[in-house]
Every structure is written in C-alpha cells, then in structure tokens.
Amino acid sequence: MASQQGLIRLWKTKRIQQVLTSHLASKDLISCRLVCHRLAVYLAPILFADIEVRFRSSTFDKPSQMAALEHIGGHVQAMTIKIPHDRETFLPPLLDPIMGTEQTFIYTPQRCQLGGSSPRYGSRQMTELLVKQYPPLFHASTNIPSFVQALTMMSGLQHLRISCEGQVPSHRYRRSVVDYALISLRMAIEQAPLKDLHTLSLLSVHPGAVLYLRPALGFGASPASCKRWSQIRKLTVHMTSFGHEPGQPTDHLKLLHAYLGSFPSLQRLVFHWEGERGLSPLSLATEPSLNSAAKGKPSQACPERSALPLRPLKFQNLQQMELVNATMDASQVASFIQEHRSSLREFNFENVVLRSGNWDNALAPLTRLSGSEGWKQGQRDTDTVDVPIVLSPVGVSQKQLQKAICALQQQKGQRTLRSLAKAGSRTRELLWGSPDHVKRLLRSSVFSWR
C-alpha cells in the first residue's frame, strides 16, 4: 500500500507525468492502469483523449460497449471513425420475392426510436424486404438514436475525423452502407451536445460523401442543422478525384461547392485531391463547365434550378488555406487572394498547375497590397541570392532569410507585408539546387508554391 501511495504521488508531479507519457508506449500505459485503481483514474484521460472506432454492426448497439463508452466518453477529445467501403458495405438491388422485379427504396431518416408496431422503413412490406435482404450492418447504420447516444457520451469532443476509403469508381453512383452511416453520423452530430467541437477532418472520402454530410437540404435536415457546423473553425478534406473533362458529370463539384459553404466560421481550410488532379474547390463559381447553364445550356435534370450560377465562396475569418493537387487559372488565384485579403495570413499551393496565366499574374494582388514587387525580389547582393518573402529556398540560411525579411520590412512597414513574411518550413522542399539555380528560377516568371 505504501508503494502504491508513493507511485501516485510521483505520478501527480506534472513534469514526471509528461516525461513518462512521452516515452511510454500505449500498451505500457495500459499495463500501468492495472497497478491500482487510482493510477487507472489518472491514466484514463491520457489514454482515451484520442480514440479510433471502426464502424461495425455492434459498434453502437452492443450494451457492453456502450457501458464502456459511458465510463471513458468524458475523456474523449478527438475521435476517428472509420467506415471503409468493402464487401460488407455493398448493397445489392432490392427484389420482390414473388415477381423478381427491382423495388425502389426511398429512405426517410427516423430521428427517434420507433415503437415495435411502427414500420421502421416506411411500410411493413418494405421493412420486411430490407430485414430479409440487407445485412445487419445496414440496419446498424440507419439506427440514428444509437449514434446520438454514443456522441452524447462524448460531450467534450473537439476534433472529429471521418474516413471512408476504398470506394471503387464503378460504385460512385450506388448508395452503400457507408452513405447511410454518414447520414446517421451527421444527424447525431447535430443533435448531440457537442459544444466544444471545432475541427472536422474528412480523410479519403468519396465524392458522394458531401451529399450525405451536407446539413442544408440534406437527408433528415432541419432548420437548426447548420447551427452545429457553424462551430467548425478548422476543416480538412482529402477527397478522391473525379473526372472533370468536358461532357463529364459535374454534380459532385456542385455538391462540394455547396458543402464548403456550410462552414461560415472557418479559420483554416485544407483540401487535397487524391489521385488525378482536380479543379480548385475554392473557385468553382468561376468554372465554365459548372456555369454552362447560365450561358444558354440548361440541364435536362432541373433546368430552373441549374440555370442559377454558383455564388462565390467567401470565408470572412479565413486565416490559413492549403490546396494540393489542383488545376486552376491565375485569375482564380488572384481573385481568391483579393477577396480574402483582410483575413488571410498564410496560403499554400502544392502541385497546383495553372491553365492560363503565370504565377506573377496569380500573385499580382500581393504586389498591389505591398506597393511594389519587393516581397518577391528581396535584396540583390553579390554575396546573396534573391530571397522571396513567402518562399524559403534551399541554399539560403535562416540567418540570411531573416536578414532579408527585416530589411524589407523596414522599407515596407505595412501589416499585410509583415503577415506574408511568415515562410513555411515545408516550402524549402519545393526549391532545390544551388544558389545560382535559385537565382535563375526567381528571376523567371514561374514559381512553385506550397
């Protein structure tokens, strides 16, 4: 008993606690919980601060798992929920058992648990078909009250990650268990008391995911649906790319545009296209292929609605932006910088190709804001190279870079120039070679951005 008391006093020392948790693996910390009850209590907030859940048919339905979640849910600050596309999530067509004809299923989400006498999926006939022909994973994905109960137990959740990897291109227009689970998850986030939620990460999601995660005009949406999403300050989206060549469907891009507009309070936005290079989701309102209806080519699906042009995205509080693996015009980059000049402090372009114009044209607003091209040229000296303020070239020491920044700030003391002088460390990887190579590159009109 005395040794346990000494261990507890030792663990309660903040510095020792930080050192031990940084050096011990998770399995070792789990073993430490078995030493005594009090030590387990102190370790619980550390071990369960960030959890990972793989969605199964019993994830939120099994009483023992829900009881365990009730004990640790108050410690959860970040959660990753994985709903991968696989054989279990594939849904075959519904067939009439007598005639063999395909049946149409119109899904209406149920916000509360229905009584035993009420059909769960609209009618008794449809409910019987779904129970007999669809797997238990489907019925678990449509059990919205179980999602609400689970998230209610994690009222301190701050960061939610959603991963839906594995969709094959041939299934892009087929609804699967993953899509029904996203509907339930979105509705649960809106109903549960998640007042601390401020970060959302969509990792390896399929293009259709935004249709089911969209709070406005989505499945089961209510007038209060958008209130929860207005809390989000940081949004990260890694989305599988979809073809955008002339003649190909553009519905997924319009849905993406509408979904990004659901976050009015964003301060940081990161968007990655996975696979082929895609269009910039921040400039879809200026894409000719998406506004062809406004030029006399209405869509056959909904001519009245599609004739309306997309409204440009505007984030009043956006401070950081990162775009990876995209195609856009120099005018679109310039327009985005100009529109967000009052709040934007850092923007990174990685593997971004300009269809028209060059990077001098794209970054022209920076020249107008600073009053000259000094932010790009830096200082010219026989012993140094041309150092751009936003870029950080290989071959230039940090001391040289800081010297150039300080000298330029003395010449141009404007706030915008000072904010743009914060160079990202990762941009060093984009400019390589000797100082002479960097000098030739910076004197040209082509820039690599991250």
Q: What is the pLDDT of residues 273-292, one digit of tens each?
A: 999 899 999 998 888 777 65
| Mean pLDDT confidence for 280-307 | 64
Verify that 92 and 202 share a domain, yes or no. Answer: yes
* pLDDT of 233 higher than 90: yes
Query: Residue 305 and residue 58: Cα distance in Å, rounded?
Result: 41
Indicate the number of domains in the chain: 3
Do 24 and 171 lie in one domain? The reply is no
Does a structural domain hold residue 257?
yes
pLDDT of 44? 82
Type of residue found at 289: S
Q: Does a structural domain hold residue 132? A: yes
Q: Residue 139 pLDDT > 60, yes or no?
A: yes
- Cα(444)–Cα(430) distance, integer angstroms: 16
Domain-located, residue 304: yes
Q: Is the dihedral of CA 105, 189, 178, 131 positive or negative?
A: negative
Q: Are residues 73 and 126 in the same domain?
A: yes
Average pLDDT score over residue span 137-149: 94
Q: Please tell me whether residues 63 and 146 are part of one structural domain.
A: yes
Banded pLDDT at 100 (limits 50, 70, 90): confident
Contact assessment for residue 229 and residue 194, using Cβ atoms and an 8 Å cutoff = no
Please state, rounded to an integer, the average pLDDT across all residues of the chain: 79
Among residues 47, 63, 82, the one where a domain terminates is: 47
Residues 183, 311, single domain; the answer is: yes
Please give the residue range of the domain that contains residue 382: 370-443
Residue 433 inside a domain? The answer is: yes
Question: How far, in Å, are 306, 332, 387 from residue 361 at the CA level?
Answer: 32, 10, 19
Q: What three-state secondary structure class fits 80?
A: strand
Instruction: Write the single-letter amino acid at 309.
Output: P
Verify that 126 and 172 share a domain, yes or no. Answer: yes
Q: Return the pLDDT at 9.
A: 74
Asked if residue 107 has pLDDT above 80, the reply is: yes
**CA-closest candidate to residue 150, choices 185, 181, 202:** 185
Residue 449 falls inside a structural domain: no
- Containing 78, the helix (H) or strand (E) segment is strand 78-82
- Report if residue 295 sits inside a domain: no
| Under 8 Å between Cβ of 239 and 172 | no
Start-end of H helices in 117-261? 124-133, 136-141, 144-152, 177-191, 209-213, 225-229, 251-260
Mean pLDDT of 407-419: 44
450, part of any domain: no
pLDDT of residue 217: 78
Tell me which residue of 146, 144, 83 sits closest to 109, measured CA to CA.
144
Tell me, yes or no, whether 448 lies in a domain.
no
d(CA 446, CA 448): 7
pLDDT the model gives residue 374: 63
Are 260 and 374 within one domain?
A: no
* Shared-domain flag, residues 357 and 321: yes
Q: Say if CB 360 and CB 445 are below 8 A apart.
A: yes
pLDDT at residue 194, rounded to an integer: 94
pLDDT number for residue 427: 39
pLDDT class of 181 with cuts at 50, 70, 90: very high
> Quick one: pLDDT at residue 30?
73
Can you give the pTM of this predicted structure?
A: 0.78
Model confidence at 252, in pLDDT bands (50, 70, 90)? confident
Indicate the residue among 31, 47, 63 that finishes a domain: 47
* Closest among 249, 330, 331, 241 to 290, alpha carbons compared: 249
Residues 393 and 346 occupy one common structural domain: no
Predicted confidence at residue 435, as pLDDT, reads 41
Give residue for tokens 């319009």: 254
Q: How confident is the model at residue 293 (pLDDT cuts 50, 70, 90)?
A: very low
Per-residue pLDDT band for 111 (boundaries 50, 70, 90) equals confident
**Tell me, what amino acid is at 85?**
H
The whole-angstrom separation of Cα 437 and Cα 431 is: 9
Lowest-confidence range among 28-42, 244-258, 278-292, 330-344? 28-42
pLDDT band at 405 (very low <50, low <70, confident <90, very high): low
| 38-63 mean pLDDT | 87
Q: Are residues 86 and 6 in the same domain?
A: no
Q: What is the dihedral of CA 165, 168, 172, 175, to 10 degrees?
A: -70
Flag whether pLDDT at 79 surpasses 70: yes
Residue 370: enclosing H or E segment and its boundaries? Answer: helix 364-370
* Residues 378-393, mean pLDDT to the nearest whole number: 37
Q: How far is CA 255 from CA 27, 46, 118, 259, in A?
A: 43, 38, 34, 6
Q: CB count, 10 Å around CB of 119? A: 13
pLDDT in tens, 345-385: 888 999 999 998 888 888 888 878 776 666 665 434 333 33
Confidence class for position 307, pLDDT limits 50, 70, 90: low
Specify the amino acid at residue 64. Answer: S
**CA-CA distance, 28 to 168, in Å (whole number)?**
39
* % of the chain residues with pLDDT over 70: 75
Same structural domain, 18 and 92: no
**Shared-domain flag, residues 254 and 395:** no
pLDDT at 69 over 80: yes
